[in-house]
Structure 1
Amino acid sequence: MRISELSRRTGVPVPTIKYYVREGLLPSGELTSPNQANYSETHERRLRLIRALLDVGGLKVAAIAEVLGAVDDPARPVHKVLGAVADRLGTAHSDDDDAESAAASAVVAELIARRGWRTHESNPAAGDLTRALAAMWRVGHGAFVELLDDYADAAELVARADLDYVGRRVAVDELVESVVIGTVLGEAVFNAMRRLVHVDASARLFGRDTAAETESKVAD
C-alpha cells in the first residue's frame, strides 16, 4: 500500500508517519521509485503499536524507541521485552524526600518482600505505589496501608489473568501489544469496574433510605 493508504487505514497523518520513519520507530517502505514506497501490513501493525504506546501508554518518543529496540532485538528474552514495556508505563519520577515518602517507601519494600514478588523497590511501579501511599499519609489516610494485602491479593489475580492472555500470543510484537492492552487498558477496565462496585456497595450499605424512596416512587 502507499503511504496515503497506510495513513487512511490507521488514522495517522502522512507527515507523522514520515516523522516516525525518520526517528527510526517505523521501518522505511519498500522503494518502488525514487519518490514512492510501498508499505505492508507489518508497517500498519507497527504503526498501531506506536500509537498505542504513545496515546494509551503515555510514552514519549524516546521511550517508544527503547521499547521497539527491545522488541526488535532477537537476543532479548521475552521476559526482558515485557519488562522494558512495563517499566515505561509508570509515571514520572519524583524526588520527594519527606517523612511520608520515606515511610511509604519502607512499606512498599516490606510488602514486596512479604509477598515474595520477584521484583525490587526500584521498579517504576513501586515508585508509583510509594507516591500514592505518601499522598494518602499527607491527607490523613495513612491507615490505608492496612488494606495493602487485600489489594495485593486482587492484583495477583488480575496480573495472572493479564499474563494468561499475553501467553496466548506468539509473536513478540503481539506480546508487547498485549502488555500495553493488559496493563493500561486493562487497568482502565478494572478501575471502571471497581467504581461500579463501589456504587453498588455504597447503595447496599448506606442507601436504604434512597432505595425505599425509589420503591415508593415506583409504587406511586
Structure 2
Amino acid sequence: MSDVPLLLIDLDNTLVDRDAAFRAAVADFLARHDLPAADLAWATAVDAGGYAARQDVAAALAGRYGDAVPPGAVRTLLDTGAADRVVLAPSSRAALADARACGWTCVVVTNGRTVQQETKIRRTGLDLLLDGWVVSESVGHKKPEPEIFRAAARAVGTTLSGAWVVGDSPAADIAGAHALGLRSVWVANGRVWQGSSCRPTHVTDDVAAAIHHVVLAGSR
C-alpha cells in the first residue's frame, strides 16, 4: 500500500445537509396525507438528526398516524425521503475538486444503510468527485469504531498514516479520529464544542472551509 494524503469525510450534515432534506421530506409527507403541519417539529425531534434507530422512528410515526397514512408510506419516507432531496453546495464541490487537484485522496466514511447512502452520493454527483466511500452497513462497523476508518483506507489502497478526518459529529467523527491518533476538523454548523474527552485539531463553520484547512495544512 502507498502512503498518499488521505482525507476522510463524513456525509450527512457535513458534505450534505441531511437534516434539511429530511425536514423537507417530512413536510411533504404531512401535506400529502393531510396531517398537521405543526408535527414537523415532533418528527424532527424523533429523528434526532438521523441518529435515532430507523425502526424506532418508523414505530413512532406508525403509532402516531396509524390508518391515516397508506401502508408503506412511512417506509417510503424513511427510505427515500431525505436521499431524494439532498444537494451538494457549489462551495463543497469546488473544495473537493481543489483537494484532489492538490493530490489528496478523498473518501467518504458514513454510518447508515448502503442503498440510502449511495443514493445520496450518486444523486449529488459525489461519486464523480470522490476516490471512494465506505458505508457502515457494508463493512459491518460504525463510526467511531477504528475498523471503518481502516476499511476506508484499504478501499483506496493506502493507510491511515497522515490522514485527516472531517465531520460534524463529536462522538462519531472526532472521537473516532482521536482514538486512531488522526488529525481532525469539526464542522460546527453553528454549534459550540462541548466535548470533554477529546478535542478536534481544528474547527470550522462549514465543510468547504474544513477541506481548505486540511489542504493548506498538508502543504506546510
**Structure-2-length-normalised TM-score:** 0.29
Q: Which protein is richer in strand relative to its size?
A: 2
Over alpha carbons, which structure has the higher Rg? 1
- Report 1 or 2 for greater relative contact order, CA contacts < 8 Å, sequence distance ≥ 6: 2
**Structure-1-length-normalised TM-score:** 0.29
